[in-house]
Amino acid sequence: MRIVPVVALGLVTLAGCGPSGGAAGDHACTLIGAMPGVRVDIAPRPGQDVAGAAVTLCRGGECRTWHPELRPATAADPQGCTGTAPDDACSARVRHTGGWFGFIDVADLREGPYDITVVLTDARGTELGRTTQNTAARLVHPNGPECGGGVPQVQLGI
């Protein structure tokens, strides 16, 4: 009697496994996901050494502030290819753009409008700039909308 529940549980568990994670029509759906949150892209600011940011999200009179870790923004510069055959190789060199980016995990982010204020600071905490934008959190679908799994995100460029 005990073996039946264990075997049944094993079959249910294996039914959810597979290399593609499922499919929607002719489109393969992988197991990749996305996190709800806010991505902040900070353009280069010549003469200013941005070291930190305070990001405040407001909606319906409720505001919360985060201090995301900023990382150097990069871009790839193509360096050419050895040919055009499938086995040939191409290369690129990554360079720092002079900008920064950060991501804030906001588990309860919902679709719709937000007022977002970003305050940039230097290493001493001196304010370098402030901007407020009204923008909307929109659903992103890592595999396309036909696979489901959409989560709200904001892409904020300053």
Residue-wise DSSP of 44-97: --TT----EEEEEEEETTEEEEE-PPPEEEEEEEEEEES-SSTT--EEEEEEEE
The predicted structure's pLDDT at residue 32: 84
Nearest Cα to 157, choosing from 7, 16, 76, 55?
55
Confidence tier at 2 by pLDDT (50, 70, 90): very low
The predicted structure's pLDDT at residue 26: 67
Q: Kindly report the number of other CB atoms within 10 A of residue 123's CB atom.
A: 9
Query: What pTM did the predictor assign?
Result: 0.73
Contact call for residues 35 and 154 (beta carbons, < 8 A)? no
For residue 145, give the DSSP letter: G
Confidence tier at 30 by pLDDT (50, 70, 90): confident
CATH code 2.60.40 for 32-157 = yes
Helix, strand or coil, per DSSP, at residue 43: coil
Judged against a pLDDT cut of 50, whether residue 13 lies above it is answered with no
Q: What pLDDT, in 10s, does the model give residues 80-139?
A: 999 999 999 999 999 999 999 999 999 999 999 999 999 999 999 999 999 999 999 999
